[in-house]
Each structure stands twice: as C-alpha cells, then as structure tokens.
Amino acid sequence: MAPGGADARWLDAALALAMRGQGRTWPNPNVGCVIVKDGCVIGRGWTRPGGRPHAEAVALMQAGEAARGATAYVTLEPCAHDSARGPACADLLAAAGVARVVSALTDPDPRTAGRGHDRLRAAGIAVDVCAAEAGGAAGARRAMAGWLTRQQHGRPRVTLKLGLSLDGCIALANGESRWITGPEARAHAHLERSRHEAILVGRGTWDADRPRLDVRLPGLERFAPARIVMSARGAVDRLGPDDRVIAAPDAIAGLPCDNLLVEGGAGTAAAFLAADLVDRLVIYRAPLLIGGGRGAVGGFGLADLAAAHGRWALQDTRMLGTDRLDIYERRR
Amino acid sequence: MAPGGADARWLDAALALAMRGQGRTWPNPNVGCVIVKDGCVIGRGWTRPGGRPHAEAVALMQAGEAARGATAYVTLEPCAHDSARGPACADLLAAAGVARVVSALTDPDPRTAGRGHDRLRAAGIAVDVCAAEAGGAAGARRAMAGWLTRQQHGRPRVTLKLGLSLDGCIALANGESRWITGPEARAHAHLERSRHEAILVGRGTWDADRPRLDVRLPGLERFAPARIVMSARGAVDRLGPDDRVIAAPDAIAGLPCDNLLVEGGAGTAAAFLAADLVDRLVIYRAPLLIGGGRGAVGGFGLADLAAAHGRWALQDTRMLGTDRLDIYERRR
C-alpha cells in the first residue's frame, strides 16, 4: 500500500461509486472502480443497472490510452470468467496496460475466488488486496452487503423499515397512519426503496393500504423495486404483471434480488424476525405520541429479555427534519 | 451588560449552580448566584435543600468583605420580603456593599415582582436584568422550570419517563421488564429522580413491581423523592408513612413539590397525557426489539394524527452506553 493513506482515500472514492449501484445490479455485485495516474483520476466507473457493463469496463473506457501504467482501485476482485455479456475484467485491465490494482475484497464467487487476482499477477500487474480487518475491506462489505449476503447465505439481505411514533406505534388504533413521519423522512424512505431490487409487504398491508411502493423522487422513478406480497392464504387481488407472491419468509431465497426491503405491517415484521431473516433495521421516528395505537412489530417468540440484547448495532443516526433516522445492523 | 460577553458567561456559571438545586428546594426556587470581582469569582452559592439559605446568602458568606464593590450574578431577582427563615436577599446584597447585580429573570412571585430590583436600585446598586429573549433568561426559565410552572399554573412541572425497546415496549407480553435499558441509562434515570421532589406511579405498577423508587447513586441517596401512588380505587397496600395517594392527575396541584416525575405504567402515562399535564418527556431507548410486548402509553383520546404533530420539541439527546436518551419539552 502507498504511504500517507493515498490508497485508502482512492479506495474510499471507489466505494462511494459502488454505492451508487446498490440494489440495481442484480445478479451482479455493485462494484466501484477508480483509475488513478500521477495523482489524478482518469477513469471512474460503477456497475450499471442490470449488472453490465462492469465498473472496471466503464472506468477503463473513460481512461482510454491513459490507463497504461495507471493504478486501478476496485471494491471487489475483478472477474476472471468470460461471459456472453462481456470479457473478464482481469483481461480488460491487463489489455489496457494497468500497472497496479488495489482491491478491497477477494471475490467469494467460486468462479473467481482469487483467480482474478492471479490472472492480473500473471500479466505482470502488481496486486494489493486489503487485509480483511482493514477499513477498505469493511467498507466494501458494507457497500456490497446485499450481493455478499446472497453469496454467503443464498438469500437477499433483508432490511426492515419502520416508521414510528415515540411510543412505537405505526398507526392509530383505528388504522390511521398518514402521516406519522414528516416529508424529509418519507423522501429518505423512497431513497431506500431505490436501493433495493424488491420491496415486500404483508397481505394485510396490501389489502388495506393499496400501496404503490414506488419511488417518488425526481430522477429515481425508474429504480422502483419489484413488489412482493407475503400471503399464506389464497389469491391476492390487484397484482400487477411483475408483482410476486410468496407464502413465508424463507421463500425469499428464490426472489431475483440481493436487497429486499420489508415495509410491514406488524405481522410481516414479526414473521421475518421469528425466522431470523432481518439483517438491518431502518427506523424513522417522529416526535409525537399516539397512545394505545398499533404496535410496529407483532410477537415473534422472544422468550426473555436477555435474549433480546446484543443483537443490533447502531450503524448510522441522523435527524431528518424533526424525525430521527436510526439504522441498525444485525451483529453476526 | 459588559462587553465581550463576560456577563453572559458569569450568568451561565450561576445557572449551572442553580441546576444543582433542581427538585430539592421546594417551596423555594432553585436559584444560583456567582459573585465576581476583578474578573475573579469570590463567592458561589445555590439554594440549599429545603429552600434555605438562599443562593445569595451562601455566596455572600463566601465572599465576606471582598463583596464590597463586586458584581453579583443571580438567576432570579433577589427576594424583597423578610421571612422568619432569613432576611431579604436584596437587603443582604445592599448591606454587603455589592456594586452591581446582573439578574436573569424578574420574579413572578407577587411578593417580589420587581420590588427586589427596585430595592437594590434604591440602595445605589446598578441592576441589569436580561431581556426576556436573551440566552440568560431562557436558561433561567429552564433551570428553574419546576418552580416557574408552579408560579404560572399552580401545579408541579411533570416529567414522564419512559424506558423503551426500539418497538416502543416497556415489557414483554408476560410482564417481564428487567432489564430493557442498560446500566448507564438506569443510572441516569436515578439522577433524574434526584432532581424531582416527588415520583408517581400508577396503582398497577405499585402492586406489580413493588418499586422502591429511591435514588441508588452514591452520595445522592438522601435526595430520594417522595412516593406518590395514583389510584382511583380503594386503599393502597404497603404505603410508607411518607407515601401519598392521589386519585387523578389533576390532584397533583396539591402535592408539596414543583417537580414531579411520572414513571408509569401505560395507563398512568395515558391519564397524564389525556389531562394535558405532561411538560417533559425523558425517553431511554434500548437497541432491542420485543415484538407484541406491552406498549408504553395507553390510549389518551388522540382523535387524529394531525393533532399529534408539533407538540414536542427535542431539547437534548445523547447516547448512554448503547441506549439513547431523548428529552423532549412540550411546546407552549
């Protein structure tokens, strides 16, 4: 690694690009790539919606001939397998004459799994891979968490979103729920939707609220997730041609997504928690009290309080208008 | 006021001293006083437990002869009424030869109400009183909020304390509630108790939990609040000689306190909210989910969500271990 933390800073830039693809690159990982020469960025890329072209290909196209002798920073080991959709990125980097590759993570995909780095080295390229405990590796695990969850557990990463009052209600006793959170929080919730390939609600929410589950943010409308309804009983009304129905949380493994957003209601949240299938909590909390309203999460079989502790780590917190956003990640 | 903000800084020091008396000076206000000469503090005082001696008397005793020609900073207009428990502070300041008094607030008590400042001026002392919108006045209103609530509304200031899970539960469905919050949050809750003259729980909590409601912090044990049980029905068991029973929230006006802490349960919280008698919320929130547990606040007659908005302003927020403390004040 270069002295003075320059490598870490360029890798951070690649990670920021990677995050632009979150929830949009299925079935491929949302990689980011920055190509640097003489201290200047000459190419930037992130995997495009649908998974092609890969980040490295985009960045190399920008860099052109200048890539010769440059350093490429990538958030994941470049792929080593040719595909009908394009050549292997390791070969592209070698052909462009890149002198060095700094990589945040070794690819857990058995089709690559170190062979991308090997192929680069065989082409005479210097390869540095972050140590597993390094900041770049941790950042890459976070930026590509959905894809990595799929690799590791064979299912999408699940985010449970809750919009609550101070006393933990999602609606009045009569069902009124519009609106608890303010416009800033609701806009952020739409941004979260745009970072997930699919969004799931329970049958009760589907029938009661007729939710659109789309992304109402200028420029992001096209990243609206696919809609999934969880229903253990009978046919579901008003399904669109792209909507899908699953019967239980464990059926998420078969969904074509790496990032699944669960938006409720309380029974659906409880079913995912009972199945231990929630990886991340996104909680918007408005400064109001409801009193005797509908709780956010139904019973999921918690036996005692001791078992509830230590499961969630605060990852981010901020104010959105007068509401607070807290993001927790499950401790592994 | 002096240039360079020196007055504001000394007044802040007096406010910090005033807060040491919160919940301990009934029926007197918890005043703070700093006496300054040639840029040095020569006397510091805050009203002592039980209300005497007053802050000014304590600070003047420290300053002794040096008070001649000094400036006294006080969080409330010095009293102008003699009492069997001591002379008027305005007279004490004049007798000590103080040259100037900077006062954060005019006393709303009709026995003083400007006459303290008048008596100082008549003795040849320069008197500066903060403008109502100034930081010093706002700080004084906060530091002495309980006493001011009693002056203005004829009842104590009410703080509702809630210790919650992320999903707003105060217990499992089976009643288990120990512990949701961690040791840092529980210690802070005991500190809050020490700043209230009285602590109230509902009959259900009293019978189920047999709460001690004491202050388990080294050195603060003697500031344990009086215990009040709210019960609309029949006799209450296990009352101590100093414990009191009230039938409904509006009976708090008759309690010998300016700062009342309401600790639950859900029905009691709802009764105080329904009566619009909650001035402050202290919420400890632990990073865990319970699911289908006992809600923190029972129904209090909220008609629609619009009516719930805009009532609470975040006043303080911080982490206590892995729990978050949020303090809200009612908007007036």
Tell me the per-residue pLDDT of A236-291, one tens digit each, with 9 for 90 and over: 988 888 899 999 999 999 999 999 999 989 999 999 999 999 999 999 999 999 99
What secondary structure letter does DSSP report for A77? P
Nearest by CB to B302, which of A172, A286, A297? Answer: A172
In the annotation, is B221 catalytic? no
What are residue B303's DSSP bridge partners?
none
CB contact under 8 A, B180 and A298: no
CATH 3.40.50.300 fits A155-330, yes or no: no
Among A160, A170, A176, A297, most B C-beta atoms within 10 A, so best to mutate, is: A297
pLDDT value of position B3: 45
CATH architecture of A5-144: 3-Layer(aba) Sandwich (3.40)
Cβ neighbours for B320, distance < 8 A, ≥ 6 positions apart: B181, B182, B184, B185, B188, B284
Contact in structure between A271 and A230 (CB atoms under 8 Å):
yes
Write down the pTM of the prediction: 0.93
Domain boundaries, chain A: 5-144, 155-330
CB contact under 8 A, A299 and B292: yes
A7 marked as binding residue: no
DSSP sequence for B213-239: ----STTTGGGPPEEEEE-SSS--TT-
Burial class of residue B240, CB neighbours in 10 A (0-12, 13-18, 19+): exposed
Please state, as a whole number, how many other Cβ atoms lie within 10 Å of the Cβ of residue A247: 10
Q: What is the pLDDT of residues B111-134, one digit of tens each?
A: 778 999 999 999 999 999 999 888
Residues of B in contact with A184 (CB under 8 A): none
**pLDDT grade, residue B86 (50/70/90)?**
confident
pLDDT value of position A1: 58
At B111, give phi and psi (nearest 5°).
Answer: -70, -20
Searching chain B, which residue's CA lies closest to the CA of residue A180?
Answer: B305
More confident residue, A82 or A237: A237
Write down the mean pLDDT value for chain B. 95
DSSP sequence for A226-291: EEEEE-SSS--TT--TT-EEESSGGGGGGSS-SEEEEEE-HHHHHHHHHTT---EEEEEE-S---S
Residues of A in contact with B288 (CB under 8 A): 305, 308-309, 311-312
Nearest by CB to B287, which of A166, A298, A312? Answer: A312
Token pair of A318 as six digits: 């901020």
First to last CA, chain A: 29
Cβ neighbours for B225, distance < 8 A, ≥ 6 positions apart: B23, B193, B194, B196, B197, B198, B199, B213, B215, B257, B261
Indicate whether B332 pLDDT > 90. Answer: no
pLDDT value of position B77: 97
CB contact under 8 A, A168 and B273: no
Contact in structure between B182 and B321 (CB atoms under 8 Å):
yes
**pLDDT grade, residue B4 (50/70/90)?**
low
